[in-house]
A and B are shown apart, each in its own frame.
Chain A
Amino acid sequence: MKSDYIATIGLEVHVQLKTKSKMFCGCAIEYGAEPNTHVCPTCLGLPGALPVMNLEALRMTALTGLIFQCDVAPICKFDRKNYYYPDMPKNYQISQYDLPICQNGEVPLHDLAYPKDAQKSIKNADKRVRLIRIHLEEDVAKNFHFETTSGIDFNRAGTPLMEIVSQPDIESPEEAFAYLTSLKQALIYADVSDADMEKGQLRCDCNVSVRPSHQTEYGVKIELKNLNSISGVRRALAFEIDRQISALERGEKLSQETRRWDDDRGETFLMRTKESAHDYRYFPDPDLLPVKTEVFMPAVRARLPELPWFKRERFVREYGISSYDAGVLTDDLELSRYFEAAAKGAKRPKAVANYVLNDLLSALAAAGKSVEECPIEPQHLAELTGLIEDGKINSKQGKEVFAEMFASGEAPEEIVEAKGLKQESDIDAIKLLCQQTIEANPKSVEDYRAGKGAAINFLKGQVMKASKGKANPNLVGETLEKLLSGV
């Protein structure tokens, strides 16, 4: 982005809650089910069907509010948002207008939430993006477009949907990326949504404008749609900001419009201009009674999770690992659980962290497995680091045992036993090998005694080789030194 322009970005994020049943009826929520198999008169919008609120959806929305330090309203209500589109045959969506369940609040942007290539150049460290509101509504049906017709599946209709609206505090595509990453992470930690953008569980609309840096009033706001991944949001915003700046530099006037992002072509296209803006005629839904949140707030407060950014600080404190490592470990809830389960039983949690971050993550990636599918029990990983720590096996043997653990899921002790990998720590055996090596290499012994300290490394290597890698390298080093200086 050119430095003489400022971009202003606000995001509207829709999040499907992971309740078992829909918002206003008892139909099951199931992604990918056969079309129109989870429908009833209420979610089909048939005349006369009456909605009843799903209490769990209200609790989850209030919990989300607490996570982001929103004010949870003492009273909220539902309104009808009127519009005509076949994805909502009753011609209104039940939503919240003037009394949403949550207002205000903020989402913190942490260093590791930024795209990897942008983590070294974060403009505002510890930035917080303020929220305007979080409200609850019902999702609409899914449309499929054919040659001359459209087909509609109502399985999705009525899924509880949270809308999280940010202030226009975001100033770059990278901050938008970090915002969505932080948001998604917290939602998963709170267990209110799986927030998978590919499955449409988290959807995002962006409002973006640019203005010359000397100008105080905002530029013309343009809305972006069809953003299907967090990196897609970043790409779309980068394209759109450049497009708007170029237009302004050519002396063009921008107009308020909605544009569609095409991720394959890497461009935005005009969808509609402001002339066709909607008039939703909101009014309170007479079918639904207002909600006093106080009755369920104690239960909601009890469900507050340890948030990723606090867990990260705790890992640094309790396990003596670096903030970066703790950040990577807490980035993924399951990974943080795995690490903690292993670190709890380990002598040196730092060694466990290293194994998880270096060996385990790459082994999982290579096998295309998730942390939940990890074949190694956390306790076994702790045992492996213990074996190395106690000098029972050396670190090179550790790698071999690890590979075998990953392949078979067996305990490290068993593998060490079966493969005869046990490190040789028998002092007499090592002494014998060292003596033999010294006798066989008079030249190196001479060099060492003449003051070439590095010559001992060659001798050490020879002893290790003679032991087929089983000797305890520390013990070999000590013994050689003793023999060479003492005799």
Chain B
Amino acid sequence: MSATKFDVRYIAELARIKLEPAEIATFESQLGHVLEHVEKLNQLDVSEVEPTAHSFPIYNIFREDQIRPSLEREAALANAPRQAQGLFIVTKVVE
């Protein structure tokens, strides 16, 4: 078991995944090991290393503000399990 306990139930809830108690135990142990590996990074001395947001030293990949063709609506909706009036239809959501 890792020193940092992995809260499988909470992560499963955030990811909207339903887990059985046995699965929770398995993932808790497995993901705990992953965390242990990552923990090792904390032991490195990185005081001389510049913080980066990305692994490549590349910046500024842009595009100019130009319109490009969109999909035909039939193509966009082709894989939708349900559609009506040009809309993707989903189970009713309320905020």
Report how far A37 CA is from B76 CA in the complex, Å. Answer: 8
Residues of B with C-beta under 8 A to A290: 53-54, 59
Does B92 lie within 8 Å of A149, measured CB to CB?
A: yes
Select one of B14, B62, B66, B85 contacting A279, CB under 8 A: B14
Does A153 lie within 8 Å of B64, measured CB to CB?
A: no
A86 interface residue (CB < 8 Å to B): yes
A323 interface residue (CB < 8 Å to B): no
Does B87 lie within 8 Å of A36, measured CB to CB?
A: yes
Given contacts A44-B76, A150-B92, contact A144 B65 (CB under 8 A): no
CB distance from B55 to the nearest CB of A (A): 8
Does B14 lie within 8 Å of A53, measured CB to CB?
A: no
Select one of A38, A57, A295 contacting B70, CB under 8 A: A38
Which residues of B in the span 11-61 have a Cβ within 8 Å of any Cβ on A? 14, 16, 53-54, 56, 58-61
A442 interface residue (CB < 8 Å to B): no
Does A26 lie within 8 Å of B67, measured CB to CB?
A: yes
Residues of B with C-beta under 8 A to A149: 82, 89-92
Residues of B with C-beta under 8 A to A271: 95
B3 interface residue (CB < 8 Å to A): no
Select one of A26, A99, A146, A288 contacting B68, CB under 8 A: A26
A388 interface residue (CB < 8 Å to B): no
CB distance from B69 to the nearest CB of A (A): 8
Number of A residues whose C-beta is below 8 Å from B? 53
Select one of A35, A38, A44 contacting B87, CB under 8 A: A35
A286 interface residue (CB < 8 Å to B): yes
CB distance from A388 to the nearest CB of B (A): 48
Instruction: Produce 1/0 per residue, A13-51, CB < 8 A to B.
Output: 000000111000111100000111111110010000000
Report how far A60 CA is from B69 CA in the complex, Å. Answer: 23
Residues of B with C-beta under 8 A to A26: 63, 66-69
Report how far A149 CA is from B85 CA in the complex, Å. Answer: 13
Which secondary structure characterizes the binding site on chain A? loop
Does A39 lie within 8 Å of B71, measured CB to CB?
A: yes
A58 interface residue (CB < 8 Å to B): yes
Residues of B with C-beta under 8 A to A279: 14
A148 interface residue (CB < 8 Å to B): yes
- Among A39, A271, A288, max chain B CB count under 10 A is at A39
A253 interface residue (CB < 8 Å to B): no
Which residues of A in the span 173-223 have a Cβ within 8 Å of any Cβ on B? none
Report how far A144 CA is from B90 CA in the complex, Å. Answer: 10
A56 interface residue (CB < 8 Å to B): yes
Select one of A146, A150, A289 contacting B61, CB under 8 A: A289
Does A99 lie within 8 Å of B53, measured CB to CB?
A: yes
Select one of A35, A77, A82, A286 contacting B14, CB under 8 A: A82
A132 interface residue (CB < 8 Å to B): no
Given contacts A36-B86, A37-B73, A86-B90, contact A289 B66 (CB under 8 A): no
A284 interface residue (CB < 8 Å to B): yes
Nearest residue, chain B, Cβ from A155:
B70
A54 interface residue (CB < 8 Å to B): yes
Residues of A with C-beta under 8 A to B56: 289
Does B90 lie within 8 Å of A40, measured CB to CB?
A: no
Report how far A433 CA is from B68 CA in the complex, Å. Answer: 75
Select one of B14, B61, B71, B77 contacting A52, CB under 8 A: B61
Does B65 lie within 8 Å of A145, measured CB to CB?
A: no
Nearest residue, chain A, Cβ from B10:
A279
Residues of B with C-beta under 8 A to A41: 71
Select one of B62, B70, B95 contacting A53, CB under 8 A: B62
Residues of B with C-beta under 8 A to A38: 70
Instruction: Produce 1/0 per residue, A277-292, CB < 8 A to B.
Output: 0010100101011111
Does B54 lie within 8 Å of A286, measured CB to CB?
A: yes
Does B86 lie within 8 Å of A34, measured CB to CB?
A: yes
Residues of A with C-beta under 8 A to B64: 54-56
Report how far A87 CA is from B16 CA in the complex, Å. Answer: 16
Does B76 lie within 8 Å of A25, measured CB to CB?
A: no
- Among B63, B73, B91, max chain A CB count under 10 A is at B63
Does A146 lie within 8 Å of B93, measured CB to CB?
A: no
Residues of A with C-beta under 8 A to B62: 52-55, 58
Residues of A within 8 A of B (CB): 19-21, 25-28, 34-41, 44, 52-58, 75, 77, 82, 84-86, 99, 143-146, 148-154, 271-272, 279, 281, 284, 286, 288-292, 295
Known: A54-B62, A85-B93. 16 other contacts (CB 8 A): A21-B66, A25-B68, A34-B73, A35-B73, A35-B85, A37-B73, A40-B70, A53-B63, A54-B64, A55-B65, A77-B53, A144-B87, A145-B93, A151-B88, A289-B60, A295-B60
Pairs A–B under 8 Å by Cβ, sample size 7: A36-B87, A44-B76, A82-B14, A84-B16, A149-B89, A284-B54, A289-B59
6 A-B pairs with least C-beta separation: A26-B68, A151-B87, A56-B65, A55-B62, A35-B86, A77-B53
